[in-house]
């Protein structure tokens, strides 16, 4: 079977399932047209808080209509323009544990550090762009942090791949969903 080589949305099935499988607030490192509106709506209807951290203020302005939306059972906060660690230093103490941490952050070189930081702070950590094909331009160092997690699996049905890591629960994937297909490069 040939897999789909997509773009920005290939994490959708995994991210949606992760939110459905967990409880608690959701944190998104890097906003985008596919993840941010989906997480916003899922968290809103499920009554879960969402925090989006985006390094690029101009890019984040595309999502201004969602910024800091609060209802009686839902809050979507945005932190933009700063380094992710400075935001986390001020927030993590009172919003733990996270149900899901989604990592699709720019600059990509910081994704490894975020994944390591979130190892004991989120039930499921979802990392987009997890393939390690140097010739296609991605290697965000996730292999360096897998040892911090009890459960690690990778969704390879669609490229770019999506890594799922957790210390609290296994993520159900079929053999077909985990099969690497180098012929689709």
CATH of residue 160: 3.40.50.150
Residue pLDDT, tens place only, 36-75: 999 999 999 999 999 999 888 899 899 888 876 777 788 8
DSSP assignment of 89-105 equals HHHGGGS-SEEEEEE--
Sign of the four-CA dihedral 118, 166, 11, 22: negative
Residue pLDDT, tens place only, 82-139: 777 777 777 655 566 899 999 998 888 889 999 999 999 999 999 998 887 655 556 7
The reported pLDDT for the residue numbered 66 is 83
The reported pLDDT for the residue numbered 165 is 98
Q: How far is CA 74 from the centre of its chain?
A: 19
The reported pLDDT for the residue numbered 134 is 54
The model's pTM is 0.90
Domain count along the chain: 1
Instruction: Return the closest-CA partner of residue 146 out of 179, 175, 111.
Output: 111
Q: Which domain holds residue 44?
A: 4-184
Question: Where would I find the beta strands (DSSP E) of the chain?
Answer: 4-5, 26-29, 50-54, 69-71, 74-80, 98-103, 122-128, 151-155, 158-159, 162-166
């Amino acid at each position: 079977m040939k897999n789909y080589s997509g773009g920005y949305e290939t994490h959708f099935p995994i991210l949606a399932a992760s939110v459905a499988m967990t409880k608690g607030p959701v944190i998104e490192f890097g906003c985008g047209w596919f993840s941010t509106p989906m997480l916003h709506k899922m968290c809103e209807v499920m009554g879960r808080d969402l925090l989006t951290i985006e390094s690029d203020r101009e890019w984040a302005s595309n999502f201004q209509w969602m910024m800091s939306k609060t209802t009686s059972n839902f809050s979507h906060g945005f932190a933009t323009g700063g380094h992710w660690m400075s935001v986390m230093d001020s927030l993590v103490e009172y919003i733990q544990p996270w149900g899901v941490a989604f990592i699709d952050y720019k600059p990509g070189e910081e994704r490894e550090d975020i994944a390591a930081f979130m190892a004991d702070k989120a039930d499921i950590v979802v990392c987009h762009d997890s393939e390690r094909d140097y010739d296609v331009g991605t290697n965000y160092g996730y292999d360096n942090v897998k040892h911090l997690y009890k459960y690690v699996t990778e969704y390879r049905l669609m490229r770019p791949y999506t890594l799922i890591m957790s210390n609290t629960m296994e993520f159900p994937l079929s053999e077909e969903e985990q099969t690497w297909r180098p012929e689709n490069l």
